[in-house]
Amino acid sequence: MLKVDTNFDELAQLSRFHPDRGTTMLGLRDAAKYKGLNPQGIQANLKLLTFDAGESWDGRLVVGIGSLVIIQYCLRGGVSAMRKCVSFLSTGLMLTMFAACNQSSVSSELPGDMILIPAGEFIMGTDSEGANGDQKPAHQVYLDAFYIDKYEVTNAQYEEFILAGGYKKREFWTAAGWDFIGKFQFDAGEWHQIETPMQYGENSVSTEPDHPVIGVSWYEANAYATWAGKRLPTEAEWEKAARGIDGQIYPWGNEMDFSKLRYFPHVTKLQAVGSFPGGASPYGVMDVAGSVWEWCADWYGESYYPQSSRRNPKGPDGGEYRVLRGGAWDSIRLQLRCPYRYYDKEDRRTYTIGFRCAQDATEK
């Protein structure tokens, strides 16, 4: 069933990122940003695709539909909008053809909102007197070029994974992760099988489609990344993307500035990703301090740094915990520093943990 002439505010109320309501945002917000259009300006002719939640739809087909809707908007918007639309036409057709012909995987050919981190050395860790021992010593690390998401994964993006049957498809999960979601878990005062993040769409912390998704375990973050044709960043990749090559303390420099990050009590919990452009890293990566802790691919090793590889380190071969980076909206100031290392078990799900994805540059 198609519903026409629905604006973004109405769409958010209809969806609330609940898979059982069979509603998705069609990727319009991402499609609009891809060509520099203003998603908030697309108020008319917005089509909402709904379907029975029991059907096995590939949510990634919405990319092509979204492209066509943007084109429709441009055609009705007059000469000015038409000019914006000309360069988008070929992209829209290409995305539509790809979505129709390749339903088994999300495109890994178009990085979308990803940023290229060039190959080279950077300073990892710190020799600061007040730093924990697991952050020492400061050392030079060489990394191959890679892409990393400009923003943390949002509720709307994660909803596409849910609607595509991500929690029901074994191929996206590690063996331990598949076992984890297959068992009944006790979350928020009740027992249930895991089919969404913790209190997805119902918590009071991450309340909008463009807020970072929270309540995801490492298993869920890794499964999403696999589904998206990406992966979780290594700890070294995350740190380089966050601080640049010169070892600065915060993404924006060496002095704390509360106006540049999402951090209580200065900001009320979570906001839309990218709400603090002044806090961008030297490469333009957003929200890498505050907001939510971000899962990394690595196992955590307290004494790993002195023995780690100086070229493309990937962490210890095993362990009990996975690495978390970046601090969260409720962190103490020390945890907001780029070299700060944190960790938790793979099945940990809280209101302070989210993630972003990475991808090898050679895959492009």
The pair of three-digit structure tokens given for residue 125, joined into one six-digit string: 């860790």
Assess contact for 37 and 71: CB atoms under 8 A: no
Residue 359 backbone phi and psi in degrees, to 5? -160, 145
CATH 3.90.1580.10 segments of the chain = 114-153+208-363
Query: Amino acid identity of 296?
Result: C
Q: In sequence order, which ranges of the chain are alpha helices (DSSP H)?
A: 8-15, 28-34, 62-76, 78-101, 155-163, 175-182, 218-227, 235-243
Q: Which residues contact 54 (CB under 8 A, 6 or more apart)?
A: none
Burial class (CB in 10 A: 0-12, 13-18, 19+), 73: buried
The helix/strand/coil state of 194 is: coil
DSSP 195-225: SSSTTTTT-SSS-STTSBP-S--HHHHHHHH
CATH H superfamily, domain 114-153+208-363: paralog of FGE (formylglycine-generating enzyme) (3.90.1580.10)
Cβ atoms within 10 Å, residue 157: 26
Cα separation, 225 vs 267, whole angstroms: 29
What's the pLDDT tens digit per position in 98-144? 333 443 333 344 467 999 999 999 999 999 999 999 999 999 999 99
Q: What is the pLDDT of residue 62?
A: 36
Q: What angle do CA 324, 328, 331 make, to 5 degrees?
A: 105
CA dist list (Å): 340 to 130, 218, 320, 355, 362: 11, 19, 19, 16, 29
Respond yes or no on whether the N-terminal peptide bond of residue 137 is cis (omega within 30° of 0): yes
- CA-nearest of 124, 119, 129 to 139 is 124
H or E stretch covering 186? strand 184-187
Phi-psi region of 35 (alpha: psi -120 to 50; beta: other; left: phi over 0): alpha
pLDDT of residue 228: 97
Residue stretches of the chain with pLDDT short of 50: 1-76, 79, 81-110, 363-364
Cα gap 119→146, rounded to integer Å: 8
**Tens of pLDDT, residues 226-285:** 999 999 999 999 999 999 999 999 999 999 999 999 877 666 678 899 999 999 999 999
Mean pLDDT of the chain: 77
The pTM score is 0.70
> What tokens were used for 49?
């695709």
Q: Which residue has the tokens 């089919």?
A: 195
